[in-house]
Amino acid sequence: MTPVLLLAAEKESAQVTDWAARIGWVVGLALFVALVYWLMREGWKWRGTLQGDLPELPTTPDETGPERLAMSGRYHGSTTAGQWLDRIVAHGLGTRSRTELTLTDAGLDVVRPGASDFFVPAAQLREARLDKGIAGKVLTEGGLLVVTWEHGDKLIDSGFRSDHAAEHNEWVEAINSMIETNSREGVER
Q: What is the pLDDT, as a whole number, of residue 182?
A: 78
Measured distance CA(175)–CA(107) in Å, rounded: 9
**Do residues 160 and 99 touch, judged by C-beta distance below 8 A?**
yes
What are the tens digits of pLDDT across the range 24-75? 999 999 999 999 999 988 887 787 777 777 888 888 888 888 889 999 999 9
CA 91, 144, 182, 108 torsion-angle sign: negative
Q: Provide the pLDDT confidence category of residue 18 given band limits of 50, 70 and 90.
A: confident
- Any idea how long the chain is? 189
Asked whether the predicted pLDDT for residue 189 surpasses 50, the reply is no
- Which stretches does DSSP call E strand in the chain? 67-80, 87-88, 97-104, 107-111, 118-121, 125-131, 133-134, 137-138, 144-151, 154-162
**Do residues 117 and 58 touch, judged by C-beta distance below 8 A?**
no
Please tell me which residue, 183 or 129, carries the higher pLDDT value.
Answer: 129
For residues 12-21, give the mean pLDDT: 76
Q: pTM of the full predicted structure?
A: 0.73
For residues 101-106, give the mean pLDDT: 92
Residue 86: closest CA among 154, 175, 39: 154
Measured distance CA(21)–CA(85) in Å, rounded: 42
**Do residues 138 and 53 touch, judged by C-beta distance below 8 A?**
no
Residue 66: closest CA among 183, 179, 178: 178
The average confidence (pLDDT) of the chain is 84
Q: Provide the pLDDT confidence category of residue 83 given band limits of 50, 70 and 90.
A: confident
Q: What is the pLDDT, as a whole number, of residue 46?
A: 80
Q: For the CA atoms of 73, 100, 98, 62, what is the dihedral angle to 10 degrees?
A: 160
Measured distance CA(126)–CA(108) in Å, rounded: 12
**Do residues 140 and 168 touch, judged by C-beta distance below 8 A?**
no
